[in-house]
A = this chain, B = another copy of it.
Amino acid sequence: MQNFIFHNPTKIIFGEGEIGALDAHIPRHARVLITAGGGSIKHNGVLAQVQAALGSRQHFLFEGIEPNPAYETLMKAVALAREKNIDFLLAVGGGSVIDGTKFIAAALKFKGEPWDILSKQTPVTQAMPFGTVLTLPATGSEMNCGAVISYRARGDKLVFSSEATFPVFSILDPTVTYSLPPRQVANGVVDAFVHIVEQYLTYPVDARVQDRFAEGLLLTLTEIGPQALAEPHNYAVRANLMWTATLALNGLIGAGVPQDWATHMLGHELTALHGLDHAQTLAIVLPALLSVRRESKRDKLLQYATRVWHITEGTADERITAGIAATRAFFEKMTLPTHLSDYQIKPASIAILMAKLEEHGMSALGEREDMTLAISRQVYERAL
């Protein structure tokens, strides 16, 4: 096991009906700005629940945080929060709204130009406190301190994280996910699955607990993923999905182990160039990457095949092949295609993807930082 620091102060309030207790978790005299995305929380009643829970407390609403939240949009929220003398933010939405709210919280307390938080990675030492009401199990943003922010005008997509941008609390009510479109549910399952794999399918460091926890989360997703699509109102299934997605990226399973994240890097370029959903890119890249990197990930691939997919027959190479095939089949069962050609992306795109990857400095990816651009090209080619 590698040395690590694990610290996660976010309070999770989990279960049906817990939005009703929202107000008790916000400082008594705080003026609240609700931050939100599109209109779904109006249609499904979540916004009304939140506003009812806030009662007579003074609060305001900022709408319009888009998928891949934009700096330009978020700075409008910063201006509104200043104008209204806000002292607590409440993100009501999925990962994009929560990520965006982390940036708003940091920008409100930042001395200088907030874009520096992203472009210069200027450390964020304080932020306005914020809570979340999660509506989409997928990214884990509700229990971590990181965010991905885009600057539309510059075509940039950058990350930041800070001890100051953990949510104070997150309310996870599985019933608010009942009305999600199937595509978002499927994307959420695949997103969480790949988050786990990025922290697990590397090389062994005798971190038994982290391995067992990662495998437990993966097994849970394989068991409940298809059910989450087939039975949208199954509380137990949605509850397990929600808690799994949160634990997939809250720092716990990644503490003390190597991490990969190459699938995410290659996927980001696909989103940027072809507009695919984030999870759609992961479903394409991961099986190809595991196939190309099967030697360097050999020991963990064998463990994965046995413990997650219960593959015990055949030679070691056959079991690895079967484990990768099972991964691909699972994504396809979740309705996500696993080839570039499924989206009419042609071989000619690969040169452009590679140029972008190089431009973004992605020449030494993976848990050993030995995944060269040439290897990344092989992955894209394998994904055709």
Contacts and interface: CB of A to CB of B under 8 A. Distances in A.
A14 to B, nearest CB: 5
A195 to B, nearest CB: 14
A5 B11 contact: yes
Interface string A257-293: 0000000000000000000000000000000000000
A183 interface: no
Interface centre among A1, A15, A206 (most CB of B within 10 A): A1
Contacts of A220: 208-209, 212
Given A223-B208, A240-B206, A240-B208, A11 B6 contact: yes
A4 B243 CA distance: 11
A14 B1 CA distance: 10
Q: How many copies does the complex hold?
A: 2
A318 interface: no
Nearest to A235: B1
A242 to B, nearest CB: 9
Contacts of A236: 1, 206
Contacts of A32: none
B7 A14 contact: no
A14 B255 contact: yes
A29 B7 CA distance: 23
B8 A13 contact: no
Contacts of A211: 216
A236 B4 CA distance: 14
A290 B211 CA distance: 28
Given A207-B240, A217-B212, A240-B209, A4 B11 contact: no
A60 interface: no
A13 B5 contact: yes
Contacts of A224: 208
Contact of A2 (B15, B206, B213): B15
A312 B3 CA distance: 37
A9 B12 contact: no
Given A1-B240, A4-B15, A255-B14, A212 B216 contact: yes
A72 interface: no
A219 interface: yes
A18 interface: yes
A220 B1 CA distance: 14
A303 to B, nearest CB: 13
A247 interface: yes
Interface in A1-35: 1-18
Nearest to A166: B9
A244 interface: yes
Contact of A256 (B1, B14, B215, B252): B14
A240 B247 CA distance: 20
Nearest to A17: B3
A212 B214 CA distance: 10
30 contacts: A1-B239, A1-B243, A2-B15, A3-B15, A3-B16, A3-B17, A4-B12, A4-B14, A4-B15, A5-B12, A5-B14, A6-B11, A7-B9, A7-B11, A8-B9, A12-B255, A14-B255, A206-B239, A206-B240, A207-B240, A208-B220, A209-B216, A209-B217, A209-B240, A209-B243, A209-B244, A212-B212, A212-B220, A213-B213, A216-B216
